[in-house]
Amino acid sequence: MPSDSVLRLVWIYPDLLSTYGDQGNVLVLEQRARRRGIAVETVHVRSADPVPEQGDVYLIGGGEDRPQILAAERLRRDGGLHRAVARGAALLAVCAGYQIMGSTFGGEEGQPVDGIGLLDIASGRGAARAVGELVAEADPALGVPTLTGFENHMGVTRLGPGVRPLSRTVVGTGNGDGTEGCYAGRIVGTYLHGPALARNPGLADLLLTWAVGAQLPPTDDTWFERLRQERLTAVRPA
């Protein structure tokens, strides 16, 4: 259970990496925790400020090339996220934020840029932009239903032995090798950009379960489920 029984969400660098409705992930976690009676405090960390170490769930979103490079530099220099992850905090890294977690990613001209090394992945630039709806079957070990969302990236990500694929793609590109995203320990990375948790409340609950250390009671998923079904029906091959 989180210290002092308040769940601390830490949103990293919304001033650099939040161009695709990334705030949605913060709002969905807040809502799903609160509806289960868990008090929540959210910290917004601007890129000029240090990343606090005592958070329970960290979130980092997507963005353009230049902010992505700046974010990687600052996170490496700051070290707060590394220390938080070392003490067992959960982390959801989306799109550009996902690539940053690896050893390297593609910069503005495709040149390799150093990542921050929290995930055993290496990313580069693909030939074409992957834009569109994505459907993927999550690793059964995670107990998360089919993943649905939208991707918009030029990245190709190679997974090393230190991570497991988050899912296998049914529709869409993901990592580029038939898998989508990855996880290791309590870190989840994904190309499902922007408000990925709004389409995947099961993934939101996985992060919350890791943070709280206990199974969560069910909550009213009416609107989440209606949207999921509508999207899966529209996108999944018949």
Question: Which residues are part of the catalytic machinery?
Answer: 95, 193
How many alpha carbons lie under 13 Å from residue 191 in its C-beta half-sphere? Answer: 32
Give min distance, CB of 191 to other proteins, in A.
13
By CB under 8 A, residue 21 contacts other proteins: yes
Which one among 91, 193, 203, 212 touches other proteins, defined by CB under 8 A?
193
Which one among 97, 176, 181, 194 touches other proteins, defined by CB under 8 A?
194
**Beta-carbon count within 10 A of 40 CB:** 18
How buried is 127 (Cβ within 10 angstroms: 0-12 exposed, 13-18 middle, 19+ buried)? exposed
Backbone φ, ψ for residue 20 (5° rounding) = -125, 35
Which one among 195, 205, 208, 212 touches other proteins, defined by CB under 8 A?
195
If phi > 0 it is left, if psi is from -120 to 50 it is alpha, else beta; for residue 96 that is alpha
Please list, residue by residue across 207-219, b when 16 or more beta carbons sit within 10 angstroms of its beta carbon and e when fewer do: bbebbbeeebeee
Give min distance, CB of 184 to other proteins, in A.
26
Q: Which is nearer to other proteins, 107 or 185 (CB)?
A: 107
Indicate the annotated binding residues. Answer: 129
- Residues that bind other proteins in the complex, under the rule CB under 8 A: 11, 14-16, 18-24, 26-28, 30-31, 34, 39-52, 64-67, 70, 131-133, 150, 152, 193-195, 198, 222-224, 226-227, 230
